[in-house]
């Protein structure tokens, strides 16, 4: 008997804007962020199994399978769908771990979509998004399958906006990772020591229609505290700007930085220069995604 195999891409993201707002009594922080998908991607491969969940990870060491977001997403899918079967899953990792690029969240969203396709789509889009919100604050963006979105709250409130023309991009990945918990802790301590007076900000939605407009909105509240601890990342962001990037920022809470460029020749010259000036970082050329990011293929084996 032939078995259907589903392959589902899990793209990375960068944060064009990331503002950390109030902390809830639960300990979670409210956010305002602009997500942008890039074509650096992991791949989820899924097949049916009679029962249980098997997970193979290729390309990274991620600890026990049951602790992986792919496993947790698969468990959530079977619980929500009521399906008694199981799945054999393979995760091919290309997105660096602990870099603020959303790899784990994207893997979880792609697992939900892959299993839903594998089992005849028992869950509708709303159910997929509800499960995504349970799995993590970045997961709904990837589950929504749109390349650009303004998100706020814990990340579950999304306003997708039309994709911009694909822009050449470079991601700089250092030889260390930064735990999200650590970044939030450092930011909280800094704000407690010297509370910031932040004027109200009105986002001009027209600015979302161009790269120049987005450049004017680009900010990351983690940069001050992270750059104090890791000055090489501050150097990298400045070097990206000096090399012609329209936008250069830390992504998420780090450790990766990124630059978005006006054209490929400028980007490629920047990559060559940065690899010489800052060899401690791995510089990865890529591009922003101009179309829905949920892409799948299937085969019979």
Known catalytic residue: 229? no
Which candidate in 13, 42, 107, 221 is catalytic? 13
Tell me the backbone φ, ψ of residue 146, rounded to 5 degrees. -115, 140
DSSP string of 253-271, one letter each residue: TSS-EEEE-SSHHHHHHHH
Asked if 234 contacts 227 with a C-beta cutoff of 8 angstroms, the reply is yes
Q: What is the pLDDT of residue 1?
A: 41
Euclidean distance between CA atoms 87 and 95, whole angstroms = 23
Question: Cα dist. 7→94, 188, 245, 247 in Å?
Answer: 15, 40, 33, 32
**Per-residue model confidence (pLDDT) at position 301:** 36
pLDDT at position 206: 86
pLDDT score at 83: 95
Q: Tokens 């997500």 belong to which residue?
A: 35
pLDDT at 200: 56
Tell me the pLDDT of the chain (301 aa) as tens digits.
457 999 999 999 999 999 998 665 555 667 899 999 999 999 999 999 999 999 999 998 888 888 999 999 999 999 999 999 899 999 999 999 999 999 999 999 999 999 999 999 999 999 999 999 999 989 999 999 999 999 987 657 899 998 899 999 999 999 999 998 899 899 988 887 665 555 556 678 888 999 999 999 999 999 999 999 999 999 999 999 999 999 999 999 999 999 999 999 999 999 999 999 999 999 999 999 877 655 555 544 3
Question: CB neighbours of 137 closer than 8 A, spacing ≥ 6?
Answer: 28, 31, 105, 154, 155, 156
Residue 13 catalytic?
yes
For the record, the structure tokens of 153 come out as 């709250």
Catalytic residue among 42, 107, 138, 221: 138
């Amino acid at each position: 008997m032939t078995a259907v195999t589903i392959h589902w891409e899990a793209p990375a993201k960068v944060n064009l804007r990331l503002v950390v707002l109030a902390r809830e009594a639960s300990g979670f922080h409210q956010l305002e962020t602009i997500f942008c998908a890039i074509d650096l991607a992991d791949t989820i491969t899924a097949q049916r199994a009679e029962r249980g969940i098997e997970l193979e990870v290729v390309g990274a060491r991620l600890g026990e399978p049951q602790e992986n977001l792919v496993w947790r997403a698969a468990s959530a899918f079977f619980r929500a769908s009521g399906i008694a079967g199981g799945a054999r899953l393979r995760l091919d990792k290309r997105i660096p771990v602990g870099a603020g690029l959303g790899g784990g969240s994207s893997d979880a969203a792609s697992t939900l979509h892959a299993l839903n396709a594998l089992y005849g789509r028992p869950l509708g889009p709303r159910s997929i998004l509800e499960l995504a919100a349970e799995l993590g604050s970045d997961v709904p963006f990837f589950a929504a399958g749109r390349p650009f979105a303004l998100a706020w709250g814990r990340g579950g409130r999304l306003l997708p906006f039309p994709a911009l023309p694909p822009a050449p991009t470079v991601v700089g990945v250092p030889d260390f990772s930064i735990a999200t918990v650590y970044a939030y802790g450092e930011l909280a301590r800094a704000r407690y020591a010297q509370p910031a007076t932040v004027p109200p900000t009105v986002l001009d939605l027209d600015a979302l229609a161009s790269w120049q407009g987005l450049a004017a909105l680009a900010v990351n509240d983690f940069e001050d505290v992270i750059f104090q601890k890791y000055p090489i990342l501050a150097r990298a962001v400045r070097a990206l700007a000096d090399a012609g990037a329209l936008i250069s920022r830390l992504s998420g809470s780090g450790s990766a930085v990124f630059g978005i460029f006006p054209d490929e020749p400028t980007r490629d010259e920047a990559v060559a220069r940065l690899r010489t000036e800052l060899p401690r970082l791995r510089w990865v050329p890529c591009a922003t995604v101009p179309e829905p990011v949920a892409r799948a293929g299937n085969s019979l084996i």
